[in-house]
């Protein structure tokens, strides 16, 4: 199995997956959740089962760009752009009149634009800090070439994930593709998982290079990938099975988080095997030192 020899095909496949997402991000941007865009959020509980589609039709009459998600059989989660006090009063009165609300289990939250801006900066800062720490650790544990190849593989995973969410949120207008703090949590989790998988393969490469062998560097890398392949795939599949089950049975308000983890784990496994290590071979050819 010559994975390294066919590396250009794997690089092209990654590019074909990433490019539509980059185009979507450049022209459409993201569907930002209340955490990042600011707005009002109502977590409403009812005394009897109510469908989110029924509440959505009612909210559409107010023209407040509301998104209604099912939150259990007797609840919905309503997210709107910032409302005036008059709009808020009218909506509350209308919903209470047409649906059997349970005030004791209902809640309301508001996020202003200042707090939303701080969250965006904080989320970006977390990802940058995590990447810097990873580079420092891998440079000490291996060397800077391994570190840079690992970060390039991480960028692949981040672009795949953000690109797909841009398409889901802005092109298909799905609440599932909303960018919020749970999405940032998923991105950081994916970064950690992807690096973990990449380090295992890098460590195998280093061990094989230390042994007296007539294999070339490219052959050593390919051998190391094959030796680690079953372990990487088996580990990832156990996580994927759990995430698929969780996605199917989880409430609507965390489906986006579960989907982000699922996409990221699959992308991270792919990039660890087919991108990170083959990039070492490309670098070696460009710089034999």
**pLDDT tens profile 259-276:** 999 999 999 999 999 999
Same-domain status, 97 and 128: no
Last residue of a domain, one of 96, 111, 126: 111
Same-domain status, 126 and 99: no
Per the CB < 8 A criterion, the answer to whether 257 and 183 are in contact is yes
**Domain span including residue 20:** 7-33+114-286
pLDDT number for residue 36:
76
The CA angle 239-243-244, to the nearest 5 degrees, is: 115
State both tokens at 286. Answer: 């460009």
How far, in Å, are 64, 90, 155, 235 from residue 86 at the CA level? 12, 6, 45, 54
- Comparing C-alpha atoms, which of 153, 156, 155, 177 is closest to residue 259? 177
> Does 1 fall in a domain?
no
Give how many domains the chain has, as a whole number.
Answer: 2
Last residue of a domain, one of 77, 111, 145: 111
Give the whole-angstrom CA distance, residue 76 versus residue 79.
Answer: 10
Cα torsion 8, 11, 12, 14 to 10°: value is 160
Give me the tens of pLDDT residue by residue for the chain, a chain 289 residues long. 889 999 999 999 999 999 999 999 999 999 887 777 777 888 888 888 888 888 888 888 887 778 788 887 788 888 887 777 888 888 888 888 888 888 778 877 776 665 566 767 777 787 788 888 888 988 888 888 899 999 999 889 999 999 999 999 999 988 889 888 888 889 888 888 888 888 889 999 988 888 867 888 899 999 999 999 988 899 899 999 999 999 998 877 788 999 999 999 999 999 999 999 999 999 888 877 6
- Comparing C-alpha atoms, which of 50, 98, 104 is closest to residue 77? 50
> Does 2 fall in a domain?
no
């Amino acid at each position: 199995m010559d994975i390294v020899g066919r590396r250009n095909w794997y690089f092209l496949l990654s590019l074909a997956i990433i490019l539509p997402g980059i185009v979507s991000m450049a022209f459409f941007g993201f569907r930002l959740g209340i955490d990042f865009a600011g707005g009002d959020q109502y977590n409403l509980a009812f005394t009897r089962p109510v469908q989110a589609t029924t509440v959505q039709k009612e909210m559409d009459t107010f023209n407040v760009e509301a998104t209604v998600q099912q939150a259990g059989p007797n609840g919905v989660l309503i997210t709107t752009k910032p409302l005036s006090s008059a709009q808020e009063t009218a909506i509350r009165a209308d919903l209470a009149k047409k649906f059997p609300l349970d005030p004791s289990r209902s809640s309301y939250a508001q996020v202003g634009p200042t707090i939303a801006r701080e969250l965006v900066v904080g989320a970006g800062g977390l990802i940058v800090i995590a990447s810097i720490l990873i580079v420092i650790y891998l440079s000490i544990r291996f060397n800077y070439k391994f570190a840079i190849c690992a970060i390039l593989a991480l960028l692949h995973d981040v672009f795949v994930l953000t690109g797909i969410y841009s398409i889901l949120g802005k092109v298909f207008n799905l609440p599932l593709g909303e960018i919020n703090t749970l999405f940032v949590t998923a991105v950081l989790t994916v970064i950690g998982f992807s690096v973990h998988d990449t380090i295992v393969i890098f460590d195998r490469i280093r061990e094989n290079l230390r042994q007296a062998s007539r294999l070339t560097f490219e052959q050593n890398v390919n051998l190391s990938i094959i030796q680690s392949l079953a372990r990487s795939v088996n580990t990832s599949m156990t996580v994927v099975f759990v995430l698929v089950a969780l996605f199917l049975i989880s409430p609507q308000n965390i489906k986006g988080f579960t989907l982000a983890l699922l996409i990221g784990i699959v992308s991270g496994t792919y990039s660890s095997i087919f991108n990170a290590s083959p990039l070492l071979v490309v670098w070696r050819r460009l710089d034999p030192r």
